[in-house]
């Protein structure tokens, strides 16, 4: 794990290195860069994959006491991260947290393309039952600690107010152990998370979405239509707002299953962008059918499940599903 000192504090990140096209992958609340571990594994041979751990509760290095951890502040921190590493022509990929909308809308100069998977947007902030639960707890002194400590019991992590509605199949315990350890054991991390949650306002994601109207680069929106936390209509609205937005809706999967991978099995080739459909002879309907079928095939499996998305062109999106 590498580190870089930004205005808010030290950010840890994984960088696979190399001279290939740059893909930056962003995670959500009380998670870390391991959310993308299997995507990185598949892409690293041809792409430079960079995965920062953002100060959203899963980070191990506390931020400065005076750091701006508001939603817009963290969006600016994401843009600062790209600038400090001198990253150019970046494919920026976001999941769960919608803060990257501020980065793309206010600081698009280093971003060549945007990939949005199910995330908080518009009026859904904080998002769904998990987000509202965290917001309510953060209002009270010690509230986040009281909410977090019971999560030492792994079974409770499957509750709707935790990760339960964000993945239809269990997330590996080792993964959620790592995500929760900082907020369970470090007071300064709970301070950072409390600061972020309290700074958020209902209109923040509405303002962020408006900024995307000026993002004049390719943008792909991939949304889980059965998502119980991130409303499917928000994916459609985001695709309409983006000047060059393309929407792909996926059945069966949930928010974090838009990228997680556990025990990868057979790959199902798909193409995510209409400009490359002709290369493989698939129509958009066939692509969506393939994606949905892959999700249905895994729905009854007891093993840890996971969706792998791989971009195999510097400006067009190819992919592989690995359903676990």
pLDDT in tens, 23-32: 999 999 999 9
For the stretch 126-174, pLDDT in tens is: 887 887 889 889 899 999 999 999 989 888 888 777 776 677 677 889 9
Between 225 and 245, whose confidence is greater? 245
Residue 161 phi, psi dihedral angles, 5° rounding: -80, -5
Residue 245 phi, psi dihedral angles, 5° rounding: -80, 145
CB half-sphere exposure, 219, CA atoms < 13 A: 27
Q: What is the rounded average pLDDT of the residues 75-101?
A: 96
Question: For residue 73, what pLDDT is reported?
Answer: 97
108-112, 161-165, 217-221: segment of lowest average pLDDT: 161-165
Average pLDDT over the chain, rounded to an integer: 80
> Domain-by-domain residue ranges, the chain?
2-322
Residue given tokens 């970046």 in the structure block? 90
CATH topology of domain 2-322: Rossmann fold (3.40.50)
Strand partners, 223: 249
Residue 64 has pLDDT above 80, yes or no: yes
DSSP 8-class letter at 264: -
- Rounded Cα distance, 224 and 219, in Å: 17
- Rounded Cα distance, 50 and 70, in Å: 23
C-alpha 84: how far from chain center: 21
Residue 57 has pLDDT above 50, yes or no: yes
- Tokens representing 310 are 């791989």
Question: For residue 164, what pLDDT is reported?
Answer: 66
Question: For residue 271, what pLDDT is reported?
Answer: 31
Residues 101 and 114 sit within 8 Å (Cβ to Cβ): no
């Amino acid at each position: 794990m590498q580190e870089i000192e930004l205005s808010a504090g030290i950010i840890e990140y994984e960088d696979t290195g190399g001279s290939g096209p740059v893909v930056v992958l962003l995670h959500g609340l009380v998670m870390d860069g391991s959310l993308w571990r299997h995507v990185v594994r598949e892409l690293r041979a041809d792409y430079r994959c960079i995965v920062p751990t953002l100060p959203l509760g899963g980070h191990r290095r506390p931020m400065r006491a005076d750091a701006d951890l508001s939603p817009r502040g963290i969006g600016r921190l994401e843009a600062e991260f790209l600038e400090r590493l001198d990253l150019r022509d970046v494919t920026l990929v976001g999941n769960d947290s919608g803060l990257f909308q501020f980065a793309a809308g206010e600081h698009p100069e280093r971003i060549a393309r945007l990939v949005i998977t199910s995330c908080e947007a518009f009026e859904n902030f904080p998002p769904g039952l998990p987000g509202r639960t965290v917001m309510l707890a953060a209002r009270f002194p010690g509230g986040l600690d009281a909410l977090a400590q019971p999560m030492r019991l792994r079974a409770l992590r499957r509750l709707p107010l935790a990760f339960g509605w964000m993945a239809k199949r269990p997330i590996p315990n080792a993964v959620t152990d790592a995500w929760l350890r900082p907020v369970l054991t470090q007071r300064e991390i709970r301070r950072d998370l409390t600061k972020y949650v309290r700074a958020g306002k209902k209109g923040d994601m509405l303002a962020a979405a408006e900024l995307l109207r000026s993002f004049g680069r390719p943008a792909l929106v991939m949304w889980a239509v059965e998502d119980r936390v991130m409303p499917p209509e928000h994916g459609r609205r985001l695709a309409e707002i983006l000047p060059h937005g393309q929407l792909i809706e996926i059945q069966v999967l949930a928010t974090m299953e838009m990228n997680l991978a556990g025990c990868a099995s057979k790959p199902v080739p798909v193409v995510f962008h209409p400009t490359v459909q002709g290369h493989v002879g698939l129509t958009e309907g066939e692509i969506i059918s393939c994606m949905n079928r892959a999700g249905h095939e895994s729905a009854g499996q007891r093993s840890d499940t996971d969706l792998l998305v791989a971009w195999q062109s510097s400006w067009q999106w190819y992919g592989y599903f690995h359903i676990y």
